[in-house]
């Protein structure tokens, strides 16, 4: 992998990731941009104990631009975009409309391909491996920034999820705090240890799923994907490396090499789970794909297990799972699809 760092016209950082060592990235951003003005702050909820990012400048972010005006496509035919090059493989750059800014964190955009009409599931294994390398590199660099406690790599896909740009892309958030979800997982692991358990909680969860087998979606020599016993979402799969590690930086070479095949197959199954449910074309499955990594300075970070959580808000053809009264008001999820049924369906739609 070759990494080339540059800056956009307004001073934001941009990084090209190329599979070829002889790639030349010397294009200059030609746009007359001024340094972006942001108004973000983080406020603490004293009752719940969590943090909320207030970012009013995001109201002005690009929203479903017309055809030919995508800011994540390469710069071609006289039209200048966020990526100065006329073609690219993988690009990461500072978000122009970040939720977290300055000493309160950082937000980046990850473009998986320069093909506007592609998807992550349609990438070849080499490109998926390059994206994994970019996620890993950005995790390492963002972890070194002052005040950053946790790095979150994720992809939102589909209008139903709330995506405002159709180009295949994800995001990376560098939080100045430990996120509530991660804190709860670490607390559960600590309680498990304090009860005298002989093994790590994450290891126990994965081993029990493997022993049970009913919710296993797919397995390889280095990864296991399963629908969790208490799945929150209609179709949800968790992907764990066989050897527990705290973050992407700690993955060994074998797990990295195996990841593209396993992850691409999992995404392709998600795209097929609703085939045949209705006579009408549903379109690609909307989903959120999220890497969960250990906080960098937590005293028990070694007990955390890196894993990816993939889920869709579609529960059947033409129907979405809305977070209504119980979920939004009390954070108690109600799942209409038994996890065992979801796992069975995800096994049924395996690639030939």
Could you tell me the residue ranges of all domains in the chain?
A: 2-175, 180-348
Separation CA 34–CA 31 (nearest Å) = 9
pLDDT in tens, 14-44: 999 999 999 999 999 999 998 877 778 999 9
Which pairs count as long-range contacts for 323-326, CB under 8 Å and 24+ apart, including other chains?
none
pLDDT in tens, 276-291: 655 455 678 999 999 9
pLDDT in tens, 84-101: 999 999 999 999 999 998
Report pLDDT for 278.
53
Say which of 64, 80, 167, 169 is annotated catalytic.
169
Active site residue 192: no
Q: What percent of the chain has pLDDT over 90?
A: 89
Separation CA 238–CA 206 (nearest Å) = 10
Report pLDDT for 281.
53
Q: How confident is the model at residue 103 (pLDDT cuts 50, 70, 90)?
A: confident
180-348: CATH number: 3.30.428.10
The more confidently predicted of residues 68 and 61 is: 68
Question: Looking at the domain covering 2-175, what would its CATH class be?
Answer: alpha beta
With a cut of 90, say whether residue 339 has pLDDT above it. yes
Q: How confident is the model at residue 322 (pLDDT cuts 50, 70, 90)?
A: very high
Q: How confident is the model at residue 60 (pLDDT cuts 50, 70, 90)?
A: confident
With a cut of 60, say whether residue 200 has pLDDT above it. yes
Average pLDDT value over all residues in the chain: 95
Q: What is the mean pLDDT of residues 96-108?
A: 92
- pTM higher than the cut 0.85: yes
């Amino acid at each position: 992998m070759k990494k080339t760092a540059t800056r956009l016209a307004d001073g934001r950082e941009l990084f090209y990731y190329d599979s070829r060592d002889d790639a030349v990235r010397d294009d200059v951003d030609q746009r007359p941009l001024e340094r972006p003005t942001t108004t973000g702050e983080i406020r603490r909820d004293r009752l719940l104990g969590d943090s909320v990012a207030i970012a009013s400048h995001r109201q002005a972010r690009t929203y479903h631009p017309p055809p030919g005006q995508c800011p994540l496509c390469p710069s071609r035919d006289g039209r200048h975009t966020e990526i100065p090059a006329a073609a690219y493989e993988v690009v990461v750059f500072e978000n122009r409309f970040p939720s977290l800014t300055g000493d309160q964190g950082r937000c980046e955009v990850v473009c998986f391909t320069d093909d506007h009409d592609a998807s992550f599931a349609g990438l070849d294994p080499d490109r998926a491996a390059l994206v994994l390398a970019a996620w890993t590199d950005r995790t390492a660099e963002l972890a070194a920034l002052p005040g950053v406690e946790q790095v979150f790599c994720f992809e939102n896909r589909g209008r139903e999820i709330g995506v405002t740009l159709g180009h295949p892309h994800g995001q990376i958030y560098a939080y100045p705090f430990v996120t509530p979800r991660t804190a709860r997982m670490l607390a559960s692991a600590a309680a498990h240890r304090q009860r005298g358990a002989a093994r790590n909680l994450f290891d126990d969860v994965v081993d029990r799923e493997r022993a049970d087998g009913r919710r296993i979606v797919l397995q390889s020599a280095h990864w296991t994907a399963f629908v969790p016993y208490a799945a929150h979402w209609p179709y949800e799969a968790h992907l764990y490396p066989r050897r527990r590690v705290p973050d992407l930086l700690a993955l060994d070479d074998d797990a990295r090499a195996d990841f593209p095949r396993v992850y691409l197959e999992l995404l392709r199954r998600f795209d097929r789970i609703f085939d045949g449910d209705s006579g009408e074309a549903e379109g690609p499955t909307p989903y959120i794909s999220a890497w969960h990594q250990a906080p960098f300075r937590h005293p028990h970070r070694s007990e955390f297990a890196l894993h990816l959580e993939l889920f869709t808000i579609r529960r059947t053809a033409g129907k979405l799972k809305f977070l209504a009264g119980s979920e939004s008001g009390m954070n108690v999820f109600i799942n209409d699809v038994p996890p065992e049924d979801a796992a069975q369906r995800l096994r049924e739609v395996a690639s030939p």
